[in-house]
Amino acid sequence: MMHILLAGGGHAHALLIRELIQNPQPHIRWSCISDHNHSPYSGMLPGVIAGHYQTAELMIPLQALCERANVEFMHGSITAINAGEKNVQLSDGRNITFDVLSLALGASPLLSRSDKRLLPVKPLPDFLHALENLTPHAGADIIGGGIASVEVALALAFRWGKNAGKIRLISRNHALLPGHNARVQKMARQTLQNVGIELLLNTPVNADFNLQAQAIDCSAAAGHAALQNSDLTLEQGFIPVNDFLQNPQFPRIFAAGDNAHFLSRPLAKAGVYAVREAPILLHNLLATAQGKKLRPYQPQRYFLTLIACGGKNAIASRSWFAASGAWVWKWKNKIDQGFMRSFD
Ligand SMILES: Cc1cc2nc3c(=O)[nH]c(=O)nc-3n(C[C@H](O)[C@H](O)[C@H](O)COP(=O)(O)OP(=O)(O)OC[C@H]3O[C@@H](n4cnc5c(N)ncnc54)[C@H](O)[C@@H]3O)c2cc1C
């Protein structure tokens, strides 16, 4: 029986496993390796920091999904990938072989890998644990100029309220939220200002930079460490994939979400792509196992981003569109809760 191995519990895999509950594929042996039995949904992280949700509410029950879908769940941390020999290595010494491999291990911020003063926002379970020990009056530096840093800074300001020390958002870029339209950027700057968050642009953080005692890394995503221990030829630290989400060097290896580098057009590291990739990934894994025709993934050019602003307000951004208010937060809340309920 063909063995399809799902490495990591990323969004594409969680959705693929959910689909297997509805449409079982019993002629295939499916298994999934993850270092956690839940897979966190980052879209709700700002709401957890702000106190609108409990931590449990952002946890996709990965192991339980696997059990319902007849996918063997293996708890373990992948440390190396031997694509040529068709196996992956786990930190406990186990070696798991596969016929077809799909990788959804995600990515994590770059700076904190070398600068140990920084607390990385990912992996989320570690961050959520560390969050409990942060001291409000000590304030915090939030590194990065994208959505994650804006959301984390505003959520922390809301969580700490009047007890908050100085919160600074520090980015090496000259603009906040690069890639978003000017109105969205202005709304975000204004929202940060309204709650007293200091914005430092054009400010690269290096070893000489004087950081506050508490600093959170939301900087650009870097490839997963396990990928460095592999015979895959990487592209900027990520797994290159063609339009079929397939690695051209090892056609029995697929990748989706943040750990993939889409060769036709580099994509932003955004969960929305991982979600849309799921049905194509499922089709192509099955097609590879069965010698059938693969289907291309066609990423959308624009997608809606809803940026949580600490309290129950949010900013909506899509191409030239910009809006903000309590109704945008309600919209985001409905989408996020609906996404999580789909795994019940
Ligand atoms: C605060 C914040 C807000 C964000 N908001 C948005 C947003 O509004 N919209 C949007 O599109 N994107 C958003 N993002 C980006 C989004 O989080 C990522 O693009 C998305 O999580 C990528 O999903 P993924 O499936 O690639 O990986 P992940 O969701 O990171 O999943 C990786 C999985 O692999 C597992 N894993 C990791 N390492 C190992 C290992 N060694 N062995 C075994 N298993 C392992 C993990 O436990 C996890 O289950 C946000 C990110 C942050 C930090």
Ligand 1 atom closest to the CA of 43, numbered from 1: 5
Is 27 in a helix, a strand, or coil?
Answer: coil
DSSP string, 184-218: HHHHHHHHHHHTT-EEE-S----TTS---SSEEE-
Query: To 10 degrees, the CA torsion angle through 167, 214, 51, 104?
Result: 110
Cβ < 6 A, ligand 1 pocket: 8-12, 33-36, 39, 42-43, 45-46, 77-78, 104-106, 121-122, 147-148, 151-152, 226, 257-259, 269-272, 274, 305
Please tell me the distance between residue 39's alpha carbon and the centre of ligand 1 in angstroms. 9
Q: What is the CATH number of domain 111-220?
A: 3.50.50.60
Contact predicate 50/308, CB 8 Å: yes
Ligand 1 atom closest to the CA of 90, numbered from 1: 42
Ligand 1 atom closest to the CA of 11, numbered from 1: 25
How many CB atoms neighbour CB 325 within 10 A? 14
pLDDT band at 195 (very low <50, low <70, confident <90, very high): very high
Distance of CA 84 to the CA centre of its chain: 27
- Tell the residue nearest (CA) to atom 18 of ligand 1: 271
Average pLDDT, stretch 163-178?
A: 97
d(CA 206, CA 213) in angstroms, rounded, equals 15
pLDDT band at 320 (very low <50, low <70, confident <90, very high): very high
Distance of CA 56 to the CA centre of its chain: 17
3-state secondary structure 216-241: EECCCEECCHHHHCECCCCECCEEEE
Average pLDDT, stretch 299-311?
A: 95
Please tell me the distance between residue 340's alpha carbon and the centre of ligand 1 in angstroms. 15
Q: For residue range 19-67, what is the model confidence (pLDDT) as tens digits? A: 999 999 999 999 999 999 999 999 999 999 999 999 999 999 999 999 9
Strand pairing partners for 314? 308, 325
Ligand 1 atom closest to the CA of 303, numbered from 1: 11
Q: For residue range 247-289, what is the model confidence (pLDDT) as tens digits? A: 999 999 999 999 999 999 999 999 999 999 999 999 999 999 9
* Domain pair 3-107+223-290 / 111-220, same fold: yes
Please tell me the distance between residue 257's alpha carbon and the centre of ligand 1 in angstroms. 8
Whole-model pTM above 0.85? yes
Please tell me the distance between residue 135's alpha carbon and the centre of ligand 1 in angstroms. 26
Ligand 1 probe mutation, 147, 261, 281, 302, most atoms within 8 A of CB: 147
d(CA 164, CA 118) in angstroms, rounded, equals 19
Q: And the tokens for 224? A: 């997963």
Ligand 1 probe mutation, 31, 39, 42, most atoms within 8 A of CB: 42
List CB contacts of 9: < 8 A, sequence separation 6 or more.
32, 34, 36, 38, 39, 60, 62, 104
Give the architecture-level CATH label for domain 3-107+223-290: 3-Layer(bba) Sandwich (3.50)
Domain chopping of the chain, boundaries: 3-107+223-290, 111-220
Distance of CA 344 to the CA centre of its chain: 21
Identify the CA nearest to 167 among candidates 135, 125, 121, 127. Answer: 135
